[in-house]
């Protein structure tokens, strides 16, 4: 096994650009991309260098290994360097005279600039002889990505790989034979897989470096040659002929003068994304053919190492025009002489078992993985392909192999996202409630301090006013006009005393004295403590539940009394009040519901604010609900209100519900 080929990093991912779209996974024929923590990572031991991931990544997250510095070092070395250019170059640079292209390549410092097309001519002849010799079916090996795919995923077909080198290697061998020089050779072409072929120890020291056309443009720009006026130059011999058609689908057949006969089926051609299916059918014996001529791209003119944006048909036209014009200009005799000199050139090669197959998991394991993604039934397997795999089962197999993650499944991720949104909404509601409670507690704490100060400062002078008002009231006769004024002073002073008393009580709500209490008994006492006007009905409903708990009896009774008093005040025309008690193992609750006027929406957010009241002046202090809120919170409980003040929306009225921990250990 060739360790260098398995570890060579032809393509890598830029994590900062990867957007987890799974397009590269979908387009990778070798499934050589693993998703780890949402990042697409190329598995170099599985990669065939086809460059599909580079071609389809709109974010530029996949980049090919840069060989420019390596070529610079070769050019600066003591041995002469030759550039051999792939026959697809007109598709990239053919909008200008090819001689300008050759001139700029030579200006980089290359001693020779030659055409790989001549090597393709030699390879075409070798395939013609292979076909004429008969023998078992063969897979053409001009495309290095196809060779790697077979070596890694169909090693049982190694003997079916045609034992013929690629045009790149053939051109390198021919150039060294014809020149007799010890050359360093750099291949320039459209193919990213050539970078892996260049380090294959089965063809050692054939190619010293590989540049893509995209890299060549960068090299020119860095050298200041991209726009420079460089003198035109022709390719050095040997020149190619029909081998220049190799980058086109079926070009090898025309160069070899082999006819693709649909009846005889001696040769079958395929290119592009369908090559995996063609190889699979070949392996199963489904292709009755002598030679399977196949390219991983839609022709080399569509290689991932190209930068041009020209449409495919225009690229084909440029290749055809170049081949036609060069065959007119160049003498066939010169080509024939070079070709004859290379007839005895060794164009053979062998292949390596680089098996990367992974044993498929048991059916039960796949079922378990699918269930984890919520695919409980076959109908749940949508096979939408959003994960990059054609079916849900193939995705599950990839997960088992460690190549994929469950989160790549879009429906599964959407379901989890919906659950998260619901959870966040719930958490947000709890957070908002907690924030509101904190703000209310801060307000209550501030008001408590203020209340204590006010009560202390006002109580004494208020007592003096009240005492002298009573003295005046006692001394004045019943028919004295001033007696009515004195009575008003007493009434208002008593009201002030009541407010001060409420302030003192409010300021002292800082401690809970828990003791055994029965919530049902407290409800009965609250009803007895509240004046029940005519026309007001008070009903108590006890739900079946354990009523014993540990509470501060006096404080909870005060809460019940405040709620009942407010309910009575909300029904000036009469109505029904329902007190309901209940609970579970950890909580007790009581609610007070009335059929009164309800609380308008604009007042609901302020209902627990100290001194906020909707009652008439002199009828309330606005401290009852604030005190109740403070008591409930000190018990680590919750108090909530539901209310409707719009008769058009249904029955009016309000319901206050208080939920309390049954015991101190139930506080959460």
CATH number at residue 24: 3.30.70.20
| DSSP assignment of 232-270 | --PPPSSPPSGGGGTTSTTHHHHHTT----TTT-SEEEE
Closest CA relative to residue 409, chosen from 134, 102, 32, 35: 35
Are the C-beta atoms of 522 and 633 separated by less than 8 Å? no
**DSSP state, residue 606:** T
User: Do residue 538 and residue 640 come from a single domain?
Assistant: yes
Q: Is residue 587 part of a domain?
A: yes
Helix, strand, coil share of the chain (percent; to 5)? 50, 15, 35
pLDDT of residue 612: 63
User: Do residue 626 and residue 644 come from a single domain?
Assistant: yes
| d(C-alpha 343, C-alpha 643), whole Å | 99
pLDDT of residue 616: 54
Strand partners, 188: 85, 211
What residues in the chain have per-residue pLDDT under 50? Answer: 1, 617-618, 668
The tens digit of pLDDT for each residue in 552-581 reads: 888 898 899 889 988 998 898 899 999 999
Q: Is residue 133 part of a domain?
A: yes
User: Do residue 448 and residue 399 come from a single domain?
Assistant: no
| d(C-alpha 136, C-alpha 160), whole Å | 8
CA distances from 659 to 302, 584, 604 (A): 71, 11, 19
Other CB atoms within 10 A of residue 507 CB: 20
Closest CA relative to residue 296, chosen from 548, 522, 60, 30: 30
Closest CA relative to residue 100, chosen from 227, 190, 255, 211: 227
| d(C-alpha 312, C-alpha 478), whole Å | 115
Domain final residue, candidates 489, 508, 527: 508
User: Do residue 171 and residue 106 come from a single domain?
Assistant: yes
- Number of structural domains in the chain: 5
User: Do residue 26 and residue 134 come from a single domain?
Assistant: no
| DSSP assignment of 77-146 | SSS-EEEEE-TTHHHHHTTS-HHHHHHHHHHTT-SEEEETHHHHHHHHHHHHHHHHH--S-EE--S-HHH
| d(C-alpha 549, C-alpha 521), whole Å | 11
| d(C-alpha 92, C-alpha 104), whole Å | 14
pLDDT of residue 126: 93
User: Do residue 392 and residue 516 come from a single domain?
Assistant: no
Other CB atoms within 10 A of residue 217 CB: 19
Are the C-beta atoms of 279 and 154 separated by less than 8 Å? yes
In the chain, what's the furthest Cα-to-Cα distance?
148
User: Do residue 597 and residue 549 come from a single domain?
Assistant: yes
pLDDT of residue 355: 92
Q: Is residue 26 part of a domain?
A: yes
> Would you say the C-alpha torsion 386, 389, 394, 397 has a positive or negative sign?
negative
What domain range is 19 assigned to? 3-49
Rg (CA), the chain: 45
| d(C-alpha 374, C-alpha 600), whole Å | 46
| DSSP assignment of 494-507 | HHHHHHHHHHHHHH
Strand partners, 62: 13
Q: Is residue 165 part of a domain?
A: yes
CATH number at residue 602: 3.30.565.10
Q: Is residue 246 part of a domain?
A: yes
User: Do residue 333 and residue 394 come from a single domain?
Assistant: no
User: Do residue 91 and residue 27 come from a single domain?
Assistant: no
Domain final residue, candidates 384, 408, 432: 408
User: Do residue 299 and residue 370 come from a single domain?
Assistant: no
What's the first-to-final CA gap in the chain, in angstroms?
63
| d(C-alpha 474, C-alpha 489), whole Å | 13
CATH number at residue 491: 1.10.287.130
Domain final residue, candidates 408, 443, 464: 408
Are the C-beta atoms of 32 and 280 separated by less than 8 Å? no
Closest CA relative to residue 10, chosen from 46, 60, 59: 46
User: Do residue 391 and residue 465 come from a single domain?
Assistant: no
The tens digit of pLDDT for each residue in 276-309 reads: 889 999 999 888 788 888 899 988 999 999 999 9
What's the whole-number average pLDDT of the chain?
A: 85
Task: Please give the model's pTM, rounded to 2 decimal places.
Answer: 0.63
Q: Is residue 470 part of a domain?
A: yes
pLDDT of residue 1: 40
Q: Is residue 347 part of a domain?
A: no
- Report the length, in residues, of the chain: 668
For residue 46, what are the contacts with CB-CB under 8 A and spacing of at least 6?
A: 30, 31, 32, 152, 356
**DSSP state, residue 348:** B
Using DSSP, state whether 656 is helix, strand or coil: strand
User: Do residue 16 and residue 121 come from a single domain?
Assistant: no
Q: Is residue 352 part of a domain?
A: no
**DSSP state, residue 331:** -
Are the C-beta atoms of 604 and 570 separated by less than 8 Å? no
């Amino acid at each position: 096994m060739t360790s260098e080929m398995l570890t060579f990093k032809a393509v890598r991912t830029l994590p900062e650009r990867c957007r987890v779209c799974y397009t590269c996974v979908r387009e990778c024929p070798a499934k050589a991309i693993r998703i780890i923590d949402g990042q697409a990572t190329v598995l170099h031991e599985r990669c065939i260098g086809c460059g599909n991931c580079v071609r389809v990544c709109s974010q530029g997250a996949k980049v090919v290994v840069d060989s420019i510095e390596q070529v610079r070092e070769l050019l600066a070395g003591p041995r002469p360097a030759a550039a051999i250019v792939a026959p697809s170059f007109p598709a990239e640079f053919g909008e200008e005279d090819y001689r300008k292209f050759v001139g700029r390549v030579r200006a980089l410092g290359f001693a020779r600039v030659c055409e790989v097309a001549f090597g393709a001519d030699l390879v075409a002849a070798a395939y013609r002889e292979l076909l004429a010799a008969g023998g078992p079916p063969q897979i053409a090996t001009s495309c290095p990505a196809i060779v790697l795919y077979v070596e890694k995923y169909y090693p049982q077909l190694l003997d079916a790989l045609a034992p013929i080198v690629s045009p790149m290697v053939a051109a390198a061998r021919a150039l060294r034979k014809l020149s007799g020089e010890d050359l360093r050779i750099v291949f320039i072409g459209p193919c990213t897989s050539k970078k892996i072929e260049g380090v294959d120890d089965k063809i050692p020291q054939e190619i010293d470096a590989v540049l893509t056309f995209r890299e060549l443009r960068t090299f020119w720009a860095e050298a200041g040659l991209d726009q420079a006026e460089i003198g035109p130059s022709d390719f050095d011999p040997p020149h190619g002929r029909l081998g220049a058609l190799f980058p086109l689908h079926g070009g090898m057949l025309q160069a070899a003068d082999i006819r693709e006969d649909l009846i005889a089926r001696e040769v079958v051609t395929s290119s592009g994304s369908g090559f995996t299916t063609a190889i699979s059918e070949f392996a199963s014996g489904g292709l009755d053919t002598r030679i399977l001529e196949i390219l991983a791209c839609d022709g080399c003119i569509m290689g991932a190492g190209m930068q041009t944006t020209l449409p495919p048909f225009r690229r084909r036209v440029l290749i055809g025009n170049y081949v036609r014009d060069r065959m007119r200009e160049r003498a066939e005799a010169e080509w024939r002489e070079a070709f004859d000199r290379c007839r005895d050139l060794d164009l053979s090669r062998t292949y390596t078992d680089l098996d990367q197959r992974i044993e498929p998991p048991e059916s039960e394991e796949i079922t378990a993985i699918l269930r984890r993604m919520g695919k409980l039934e076959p109908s749940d397997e949508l096979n939408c392909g959003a994960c990059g795999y054609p079916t849900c089962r193939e995705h599950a197999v990839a997960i088992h192999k460690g190549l994929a993650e469950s989160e790549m499944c879009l429906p599964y991720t959407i379901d989890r996202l919906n659950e998260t949104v619901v959870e966040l909404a719930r958490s947000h509601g709890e957070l908002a409630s907690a924030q509101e409670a904190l703000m209310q507690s801060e307000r209550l704490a501030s008001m408590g301090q203020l209340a204590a100060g006010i009560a202390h400062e006002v109580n004494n002078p208020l007592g003096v006013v009240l005492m002298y008002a009573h003295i005046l009231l006692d001394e004045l006769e019943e028919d004295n006009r001033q007696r009515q004024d004195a009575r008003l002073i007493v009434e208002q002073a008593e009201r002030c005393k009541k407010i001060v008393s409420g302030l003192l009580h409010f300021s002292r709500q800082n401690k809970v004295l828990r003791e055994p209490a029965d919530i049902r008994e407290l409800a009965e006492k609250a009803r007895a403590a509240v004046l029940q006007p005519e026309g007001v009905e008070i009903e108590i409903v006890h739900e079946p539940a354990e009523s014993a708990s540990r509470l501060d009896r006096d404080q909870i009774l005060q809460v019940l009394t405040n709620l009942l008093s407010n309910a009575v005040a909300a029904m000036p025309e009469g109505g029904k009040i329902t007190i309901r008690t209940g609970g579970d193992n950890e909580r007790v609750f009581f609610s007070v519901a009335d059929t009164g006027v309800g609380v308008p929406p604009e007042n609901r957010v302020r209902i627990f604010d100290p001194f906020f009241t909707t009652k008439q002046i002199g009828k309330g202090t606005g401290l009852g609900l604030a005190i109740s809120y403070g008591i409930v919170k000190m018990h680590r409980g919750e108090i909530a209100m539901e209310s409707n003040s719009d008769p058009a929306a249904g029955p009016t009225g309000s319901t206050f519900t208080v939920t309390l921990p049954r015991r101190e250990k139930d506080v959460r």
